[in-house]
Amino acid sequence: MVVSSGRWRRWRWGRILLGVLVGGLLVGAVTPLGWFVIRAGWEEARILWRREPIAVLVANPAVDATTRGKLQLVLEARAFAERLGLPTEGAFTQYADIGRDTLVLVLSAAERDRLVPMTWWFPIVGRVPYKGFFRWDEATRTEAGLRAAGLDIYLRPAPAFSTLGWFEDPVLNTTLQGDSASIVETVLHELTHARYFPKDAVPFNESFANFVGARGAEAFFRARGDATNAARVAARWADERRLAEFWRRLYESIDSAFASFPGEAFRDRRLTLRDSLYGVARRALVDSVAPRFRAIDPRYAERVRLDNAALIARRIYLTDLEGFEEAYAQVGQDLARAMAAIIRRHAAGGGGSGAVAARARLTVIWLTHSPPGRSGPRARSVPCSEGRFHLRRPPACVDSSARSSPCLPSEPPRSCQPSATPSSPSPPISTSRRSAIPSSPPTGSRSSTPAAS
């Protein structure tokens, strides 16, 4: 019997995932991690099974022109990534429609009177300050439990993630919801994770991927003679850098205030100071920062969430951007050389010890590819109290025009409704970078990436 290459690949990966699920069942009988593997494997299997070759879809006139154009852009962005030295292998050569408009919900939590995030541990990648959920009911139940325990909670959608090269990641329909600039940024962001993803270094990993995605997308469009999209990317990145500095100073201000009143006896004092400082920050965002935005809707400043969980989440995707920019300038804005220099510097400092992506490929784990509050994935639209997303944004949850960090509607979007399948964790691997942006702005974001349950 003759089997097509596509069917053969599905059959081969089907056997691998079956092994993962069986192994997870055996381990899951005695450990929570085993059940995580089962659920993660199930969701990944569903995605891989739905894959279709992008080249075939692009050549099919029955596919609408807009989708074909975006898929062609993915292939071109992938080819550009190879020229930058990013490992592509079989990634982004296929497309999968997951049948819903939200891929995963990413949850972050933190102490209300201390800038201490709640973390979750996963093999290979170590501890990460967020967790992903494929099911709305599981996400909101966990959110309610943590909120009842007195923690700040930040729950938002992410449209993409990376498996760090373990599987041939397809581009998803949730990613294609973005504009041309965000699609290219997402591809480059996720492929950056496949090149270098040191363990226990989430802020570096996501911020570095954000930098590569933004500067890479700008270079990509300039090389194509597309000055409009190149300028759009540059404007978004300028806003992200401005916000990164704002979040840095706010973080240091709040951290200093908390440190000035240590101990349980001063908890109420810390909470009062925190509320006062976030109030001052809101006014500064609205009056001083928003008027200087070049791409983000100024309304973002009025509705972006301000609390410890959201602040820490945004910092994950927007840390040391100026350090990356300095390295970029030192090599004449040669992105490939800048990446190599940044990776060498980070590894030499101990950040990359024994934890490069090659080693991470030994285990299936996911981290959501979308940062909270920046240009990363940009989620779009459903009116909500806040506004935008760095990881890439799912249209059902963020106002695309406002480019704010992702927010959740009062009712779960169609794609988030509980399914009949086992609840599954979102990849702890790499979440979309747009999530890191402000209320409507981008982060995540790749990062891409929280573990889902």
Written as one string, the DSSP assignment of 290-343 is: GGG-SSS-TTHHHHS--SHHHHHHHHHHSSSHHHHHHHHHHTTT-HHHHHHHHH
Tokens of 226: 């597309």
Q: Report if pTM > 0.85.
A: no
Reference 124, options 199, 202, 193; nearest CA is 199
CA atoms within 13 A on the CB side of 368: 46
Predicted pLDDT of residue 200: 81
How confident is the model at residue 138, as a pLDDT?
A: 86
**Residue 393 pLDDT class (50, 70, 90 cuts):** very low
DSSP state letter for 224: T
Q: What is the pLDDT of residue 350?
A: 58
Q: Name every residue whose Cβ is closer than 8 Å to that of residue 276 and which is 6 or more positions away in sequence.
A: none
Beta carbons of 376 and 405 less than 8 angstroms apart: no
Following DSSP, what letter does each residue of 233-266 receive, concatenated? HHHHHHHHHHHHHHHHHHHHHHHHHHHHS-SGGG
Q: What is the pLDDT of residue 123?
A: 65
Provide the residue ranges of all domains of the chain, joining segments of one domain with +: 64-452
| pLDDT confidence bin for 353, thresholds 50/70/90 | very low
How high is the mean pLDDT of the chain? 74
Is residue 63's pLDDT more than 50?
yes
Is 60 exceeded by the pLDDT of residue 186? yes
Query: What's the average model confidence in pLDDT over 105-129?
Result: 86
Residue 212, pLDDT above cutoff 50: yes
Task: Tell me what pLDDT residue 89 has.
Answer: 84
Q: How far, rounded to the nearest angstrom, does the alpha carbon of residue 340 sit from its chain's CA centroid?
A: 22
- In percent, how much of the chain has pLDDT > 90? 51
Reported as a single tens digit per residue, the pLDDT across 293-337 is: 999 999 999 999 999 999 999 999 999 999 999 999 999 999 999
